Structure 1
């Protein structure tokens, strides 16, 4: 089996490698190709990757290349983990929205739109080249904003599934609280990428007893602390929101915080510098502890499970993924991309039925879905007017004066990445 990772020079990659090595019985990789245009960085990461494989006794071959077409040729699956513009672009995304009093964040709000505009054209170009070089390959997208990018891939007819680590993080957290194996925990996980709620926690599958009320009663303070939300929010809602919901439920508080401390991008840039120094040490043959602070916890387990299921292997038959709605949430278009439990196999991902979504959540999901449709239109066709409309539609913005100012700032900060600007 051949698997290619586009963006293989990322500091995330050793997390993936560690999972590939440990879970080789689930996903037996014969050849792993790390593809990245940054040759120096790629060789540093590739060197550590080979040492991790060697230490854990993985027999597969790891290849590094800057040649995308050669790297993906005849691959069975291609994993995308790109950051167009690097941490410098992320730093800007997290800064200029604050000038208008809006959240500065890399996947939601105005910063998330900027990332989508930079990313969608690049991903679609890569996907077309994958289609030519490996027409049967599955594309697994971990590139943010996952919902919009996956929607672009599916609309263009690619064999693609979107992946996020939020659900698997909750699964591991609840499993630890219940003192059971993670695989025993089934989540009633519903929403859009980075806009989800856990409405139930069940053991043994979707028909199991819902243990979420008891978890909130007994561990609500700890769970709320992880989310940086008041315990009362969990008690009153009876669900566990994704931590990204804090940008919606406490927008003004978050803006005040972001204005008084260094950006997450600045923290990550320094972390990446230190990680790359560590990766260059020829004695290092395991992922360093610092990598856990980089983000992407359990990313490797989720990626292995999804790839194995898509390729007909030992992956879990039911997983949380990003895929076409297809009537799952009846108030959304069929071609909206939702993040829900789905049955996964060689034919792709088919969402499982979801109980009706309460108006409190459905309204926000509908609003963000409308924004994502406009964001994709702007990413595909360009133009200030399309950017303005997407910003105006976003629930975190929604005022014409803000949308006007943010549109100008977005374009000014991203001209080098926008062919139409």
Structure 2
């Protein structure tokens, strides 16, 4: 079994490698190719990856290369975890929206649109080269904004599934609160990527015992603290929102916070510098503790589970993924990409029935889906007016004066990545 990781020079990669090594019985990789244009990073990450495999006794071969076509040739699955423009572009995404009084964040709002515009054309080019190399290969997208990128891939006819670590993070935390094995926790996960609510928590599958009320009653304070939302908000909602909902539910408060501290991108850039120095130590043969602060917790477990299911090697029967709506949420178009529990196998992901969705959540889901329609159109066809319309449609913006100003800033900061600008 051959897997390729595009963006293999990422400081995230040792987390992924650790999961591949520990879970080799679930996903028996014989060859793993890390591909990245950044030679210095790739050498450091590749060296650590080989040492991790060796320490844990994994027999697989790890190859590093700058040649994308060679990397994906014969691959059974290709994982995408790239960042067009690097942390410098992310830093811009998180700062210039604040000049207009809007949230600066890399996956939602104006910053998220900028990332989508830079990323979608690059990902589609990679996917086309994967298809030429092996039309049966699965593409697993971890590249943000996952919902828009996955929709672009599926719209172009690629075999793709989107993946995010938010759901598995909730599963692990809830299991800890309840004192049960994480495999027993089944989430009623509803919404879009980075716009989701846990509307139920059941033990032992979708038909199991409902424990969300007990979870909120006994551990609501801890859950609220993790989300940085007041406990009464959770009690009034009766569900657990993704922490990304704080950008919507406490927008102005978040903007003021972001204006008074360094950007997350700046923090991550400093962390990455330290991590890469660690990765260069020939004595290091495991992922360092600092990596946990980088983000992406449990990404490796989720990725292994998904790849194993798609390739027929095992995997959990139900997983939270990003895939086509196809009637699951009747208030959305069939070709919308939702983040939901699905049965996953060789033929892809089939969403489980979601049941009625509270209008309080459905309205925001529909609004952001409409924005994603316009964002994808702007990413595929370009043009200032398309960018403006996408920004105007976003519920975190929604005023024409802001949308105009943000459009100018977005284009000014991203011109080198936008072929049409």
**TM bucket, shorter chain:** over 0.9
What are the Cα deviations for residues 10-67 of structure 1, in whole angstroms up to 9, with x where unaligned?
Answer: 0000000000000000000000000001111101000000000000000000000000
Query: 1:15-414, aligned counterparts within 5 Å?
Result: 15-414=15-414
**TM-score of the superposed pair, with normalisation by structure 2:** 1.00
CA distance in 2, matches of 1:41, 1:406: 33
**TM-score of the superposed pair, with normalisation by structure 1:** 1.00
Q: Which runs of 4+ in 1 moved over 2 A?
A: none
Q: RMSD of the alignment, in Å?
A: 0.4
**SS state of the match for residue 176, structure 2?**
helix
**SS state of the match for residue 188, structure 1?**
strand
CA distance in 2, matches of 1:352, 1:244: 23
Q: Deviation at 1:93?
A: 0.2
What are the Cα deviations for residues 236-265 of structure 1, in whole angstroms up to 9, with x where unaligned?
Answer: 111000000000000000000000000000
Q: Deviation at 1:314?
A: 1.3
**SS state of the match for residue 209, structure 2?**
coil
Q: Deviation at 1:208?
A: 1.0
Q: Deviation at 1:134?
A: 1.5
CA distance in 1, matches of 2:101, 2:263: 15
CA distance in 1, matches of 2:415, 2:134: 32
Q: Deviation at 1:379?
A: 0.1
CA distance in 2, matches of 1:360, 1:55: 50
Equivalent pairs, count:
421
**SS state of the match for residue 69, structure 1?**
helix
Extract unaligned runs of 5+ from structure 2. none
**SS state of the match for residue 132, structure 1?**
helix
CA distance in 1, matches of 2:203, 2:191: 21
Q: Deviation at 1:294?
A: 0.2
Q: Deviation at 1:71?
A: 0.4
**SS state of the match for residue 24, structure 1?**
coil
Q: Deviation at 1:285?
A: 0.2
**SS state of the match for residue 130, structure 2?**
helix
CA distance in 1, matches of 2:65, 2:134: 17
CA distance in 1, matches of 2:133, 2:9: 21
**SS state of the match for residue 320, structure 1?**
strand
**SS state of the match for residue 57, structure 2?**
coil
CA distance in 1, matches of 2:223, 2:180: 17
CA distance in 1, matches of 2:33, 2:172: 29
Q: Deviation at 1:103?
A: 0.1
CA distance in 1, matches of 2:71, 2:167: 30
